Amino acid sequence: MEQLLNLIDGTLRPATGGGWLDVHAPATGQVYARIPDSDESDVNAAVEAAHRAFPAWNSLGREGRSDVLLKLAQLIEDDLEGFVSDESRDNGKPLSLARRVDIPRAIANFRFFATAILHFPSEAHVMDDVAVNYTDRQPFGVAGCISPWNLPLYLFTWKIAPALAAGNCVVAKPSEITPLTAYRLSTLCDKAGVPPGVLNIIHGLGPKVGAAITAHPRIPAISFTGGTRTGAEIARVAAPMFKKLSLELGGKNPVLVFADCDFDAMLKTTVRSSFTNQGQICLCGSRILVERSIYARFREAFVERVKALRVGDPSQDSSDLGAVVSRDHMEKVLGYVDLAKSEGGTVLCGGHRVELDGALKSGWYIAPTVIEGVGPECRTNQEEIFGPVVTLQPFDDEAQALALANATPYGLASVVWTSDVQRTHRVARALQAGIVWVNCWMVRDLRTPFGGVKQSGVGREGGVEALRFFTEAKNVCIKL
């Protein structure tokens, strides 16, 4: 049984309280590791270490910090297959996906922010003959980073890389459901030259470790990705303490398919945008809205393709979908299929657990599921399911497509399929979303602002936005 440890002040150690939590492999349903069941005292020790480390880390300067982060990126790359297999085992995702997306992106996050900080500008505002202002952006000390289980190392590094590059020290908590790659990262920090206390990684439960990070008076900023309900709880605690907050929360993303689109390209990408990572990406399109004139054609072609997807052993390249992340999550997702039926929906394919053979028999697999016949106001079309489940709804014109697209409390991403340039602009402007993809999905430039509106979150990550979040702006006004 693997035993993972916290990284505090440069040393790997168990929780102060001595407790442990089990970690399961979704592919088999079996326990394969334990993490420290940490609490407030571990967070306090990490915060103390981070504050001690801050002055030296900050004064290392941009180039110095950049060198360390680039070294960390290289060490992950040197151990690519180790990270890939850990990520797949821990999360249940296909090994091929971890190799193609998750780990390369984690490496890219470090490289991107290690170099972005070198080019991070400050602004100057000259007042003719009166004065000159310049904006000094300094790190604030210690940042709290809390990340989820769906893209474990990818989202963990998406937060800690800009925080560290900007000159802060970090107290980070990966999801207790998928702690393995964050632990693997912690074993590389010393070799990369990350000074003790600069990056602290505390394992454990959200309501204990996450809550202690959120409430800690010496952590002035929290960057969180996860469920909307958890985001609300973090805001409830942190807002009265006047902490900076970046909250990247859930989504119920629409895919708008107009009759004038490139049908084949749309079909291929819509299968991906629905079921990549078993639908457990906040950017997946879960409500597919199709212009009525091509609805029947789309339904038939889409369902045929979805039925051909293979749910199987995540370690095999032949598997399109692996396991969902936990038994609880599987039951939640299947519960939504039952709900859809009770709301009048028809399951066109999937809708059930998949039982594999041998060691995988107790794994948590769900057949990719397509549902039609549920109205926009139904819970199935309002609540985030976060699994391999999509719904289809027809629309008659652009206005109705937009009304359906905007008819949820969420506003993270949307996808538009059309060949009409004018429509592209109109629809993109009218969509209530932080991200609009036109004739593509998941094309990511790390310089772009990333985040959502409404209940999908507050603030933006990525590029300059992230570096601004992880610094405090000070205006210096000098009389001429």
Residues 373-402 that bind ligand TXE (CB under 6 A): 384, 386
Q: How far is CA 93 from the centre of its chain?
A: 14
Dig out the tokens for 314 from the structure.
Answer: 């995540």
Active site residue 248: yes
* Nearer of residues 83 and 410 to ligand TXE, judged by Cβ: 410
Residue 201-240 contact track with ligand TXE, rule CB under 6 A, x = bound: -----xx--xx--x----------xxx--x--xx------
Residue type present at position 460: R
Distance CA 431, CA 172 (A): 34
Phi, psi of 363 (to 5 degrees): -75, 170
Residue written as tokens 């003719």? 128
Q: How far is the CB of 252 from ligand TXE (least distance, A)?
A: 10
**82 in helix, strand or coil?**
helix
Q: How far is the CB of 154 from ligand TXE (least distance, A)?
A: 10
Residues 29-48 that bind ligand TXE (CB under 6 A): none
* Nearer of residues 68 and 222 to ligand TXE, judged by Cβ: 222
Residue type present at position 137: R
Residue 87-126 contact track with ligand TXE, rule CB under 6 A, x = bound: ----------------------------------------
Q: How far is the CB of 253 from ligand TXE (least distance, A)?
A: 11
> Quick one: CA torsion of 37, 41, 46, 49, rounded to 10 degrees?
-150
Q: How far is the CB of 332 from ligand TXE (least distance, A)?
A: 6
- Identify the active-site residue in 282, 284, 291, 461: 282
Residue written as tokens 């310089």? 447
| 175, 186, 381, 418: residue in contact with ligand TXE (rule CB under 6 A) | 175
Nearest 5 degrees, angle CA 226-CA 180-CA 246? 25
Is residue 253 part of the contact set for ligand TXE (CB under 6 A)?
Answer: no
* Nearer of residues 53 and 211 to ligand TXE, judged by Cβ: 211
Active site residue 472: no
Is residue 176 part of the contact set for ligand TXE (CB under 6 A)?
Answer: yes
- Identify the active-site residue in 145, 176, 189, 248: 248
13: β partners:
6
Q: How far is the CB of 44 from ligand TXE (least distance, A)?
A: 16
Which of 49, 9, 246 lies closest to 142, judged by CA?
A: 49
* Nearer of residues 46 and 267 to ligand TXE, judged by Cβ: 46
**Cβ within 8 Å of residue 276, ≥6 positions away:** 97, 284, 442
Residue written as tokens 């299968």? 271
* Nearer of residues 174 and 351 to ligand TXE, judged by Cβ: 174
Q: How far is the CB of 211 from ligand TXE (least distance, A)?
A: 4
Radius of gyration of the chain (CA): 23
> Quick one: CA torsion of 439, 442, 448, 449, rounded to 10 degrees?
100
Distance CA 244, CA 238 (A): 8
Q: Which residues bind ligand TXE (CB under 6 A)?
A: 146-150, 173, 175-176, 206-207, 210-211, 214, 225-227, 230, 233-234, 248-250, 282, 384, 386
Which residues are marked as active site?
A: 248, 282
